[in-house]
C-alpha cells in the first residue's frame, strides 16, 4: 500500500504517442522509427475508486475498459514504482494506430500509460528519459519499439547491466515512409516463435553490415536504402506465416523499393528516398495484391511522446 499523499482529485493530463515500426529489415530488436500516426489519451483523477476507460476508434468494443486495460496496467506500474497506488481514474483513449499489424500499438499503449503517470507525478517526482525507458521496457520486454515511441526519430536501442539504453538520430529529410496495412493481424508471440535459436555466422555478419549501412542510409544517404534493408535474421523465417506480405515485399524489392516487414508484421514498411515513389509502390501493390491493403503515407515523427504538450526527452520540463 502507498504511504504517500494521494494524487490531486481532478488532475487531468493529456498524452500523445506515435506509432512505431521496428527492425527496419536488418536491425532486429535494435532499430526503430517513430511515425506520425498518433494515439491520444486523457486521464483524470477522480474521487471514487476504480477505473473507467472509454475507447474511441481502434479497439473500441474489443479492448478492456477496466483496470486490466494495458494503458492502465502501465500507469499502475509506473505509479507503483514511485510509491503510489492507482487512484480512481477516468480515461479516454482515442486510438488510430492499428492493432496487431506491426505498428507498435502495444508499445504505444505502454508508453501512453508511462507518460500519463509522468504527468500525474509532476511536481512530486520528475521522470527523466532513462526512467521512462526503463519503466516501458520492463513491461514491453524489448526497448526497440518503446524507445522511438518515447523519443521520436530513429532510435538505436540496446540493453546493459544498468538497464535499457537508446540513441536518437535525426532522419534524412529525403526518407519518405509508406506503410501498407492488410486487414488481417499477426501475433508478435507467433512471429517470434518462428525464429530459430541459432543462425549461421555468415547471416549474422551479413546483418551486422546491413544494420550499420542502414543507419548511414537513414541519416545521410537515402539512395542506399534498398541495399541497407536486406535481412537474413528474421523475415525469411516468418514468411510462411505471412505469405502475401512476403510475396509483396519480394515484388516491391524487385522493383527497387526498400520494402521490409514492419515490426512483427503483417504490415509492410517501404522506405522511399522520394515522396513521389510512394505512389508508385502503392500502385504496384494495388495491382498485385489478392486482399485489401491500406496505404498510409506517413512522415517521420521527430518529437516522440508528449504529455501536456511537453516532449519526453532531456529538454522536457514536464
Contact 2, 84 (CB under 8 A): yes
35 among annotated binding-site residues: no
Count of residues in the chain: 318
Burial-class residue 130 by CB neighbours within 10 Å (0-12, 13-18, 19+): middle
Buried b (16+ CB within 10 A) or exposed e, 244-280: bbbebbebbbeeebbbbbbbbbbbbbbbbbeeebbeb
128 among annotated binding-site residues: no
107 among annotated binding-site residues: yes
C-alpha cell at 95: 486510438
99 among annotated binding-site residues: yes
98 among annotated binding-site residues: yes
Q: Which of 81, 112, 110, 108 is nearest to 97 (CA)?
A: 108
149 among annotated binding-site residues: no
Q: Which of 102, 36, 111 is nearest to 303 (CA)?
A: 36
How remote is the C-alpha of 295 from its chain's centroid?
A: 18
163 among annotated binding-site residues: no
102 among annotated binding-site residues: yes
262 among annotated binding-site residues: no
List, as residue ranges, the binding site.
98-108
List, as residue ranges, the binding site for ATP.
98-108
Amino acid at each position: 500500500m502507498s504511504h504517500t499523499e494521494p494524487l490531486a482529485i481532478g488532475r487531468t493530463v493529456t498524452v500523445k504517442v506515435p506509432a512505431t515500426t521496428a527492425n527496419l529489415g536488418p536491425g532486429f530488436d535494435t532499430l526503430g522509427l517513430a511515425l506520425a500516426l498518433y494515439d491520444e489519451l486523457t486521464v483524470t483523477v477522480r474521487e471514487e475508486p476504480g477505473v473507467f476507460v472509454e475507447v474511441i476508434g481502434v479497439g473500441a468494443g474489443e479492448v478492456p475498459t477496466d483496470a486490466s486495460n494495458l494503458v492502465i496496467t502501465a500507469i499502475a506500474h509506473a505509479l507503483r514504482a514511485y510509491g503510489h497506488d492507482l487512484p480512481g481514474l477516468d480515461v479516454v483513449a482515442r486510438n488510430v494506430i492499428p492493432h496487431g499489424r506491426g505498428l507498435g500499438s502495444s508499445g504505444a499503449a505502454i508508453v501512453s500509460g508511462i507518460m500519463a503517470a509522468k504527468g500525474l507525478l509532476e511536481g512530486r517526482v520528475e521522470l527523466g528519459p532513462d526512467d521512462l525507458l526503463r519503466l516501458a521496457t520492463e513491461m514491453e520486454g524489448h526497448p526497440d519499439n518503446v524507445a522511438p515511441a518515447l523519443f521520436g526519430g530513429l532510435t538505436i536501442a540496446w540493453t546493459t547491466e544498468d538497464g535499457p539504453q537508446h540513441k536518437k538520430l535525426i532522419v534524412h529529410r529525403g526518407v519518405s515512409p509508406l506503410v501498407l496495412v492488410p486487414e488481417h493481424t499477426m501475433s508478435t508471440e507467433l512471429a517470434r516463435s518462428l525464429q530459430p535459436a541459432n543462425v549461421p555466422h555468415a547471416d549474422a555478419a551479413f546483418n551486422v553490415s546491413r544494420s550499420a549501412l542502414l543507419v548511414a542510409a537513414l541519416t545521410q544517404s537515402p539512395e542506399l536504402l534498398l541495399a541497407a534493408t536486406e535481412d537474413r535474421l528474421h523475415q525469411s523465417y516468418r514468411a510462411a506465416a505471412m505469405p502475401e506480405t512476403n510475396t509483396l515485399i519480394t515484388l516491391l524489392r524487385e522493383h527497387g523499393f526498400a520494402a521490409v516487414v514492419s515490426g512483427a508484421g503483417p504490415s509492410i514498411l517501404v522506405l522511399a528516398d522520394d515522396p513521389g515513389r510512394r505512389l508508385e509502390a502503392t500502385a504496384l501493390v494495388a495491382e498485385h495484391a489478392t486482399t485489401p491493403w491500406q496505404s498510409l503515407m506517413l512522415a517521420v515523427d521527430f518529437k516522440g511522446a508528449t504529455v501536456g504538450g511537453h516532449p519526453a526527452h532531456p529538454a522536457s520540463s514536464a
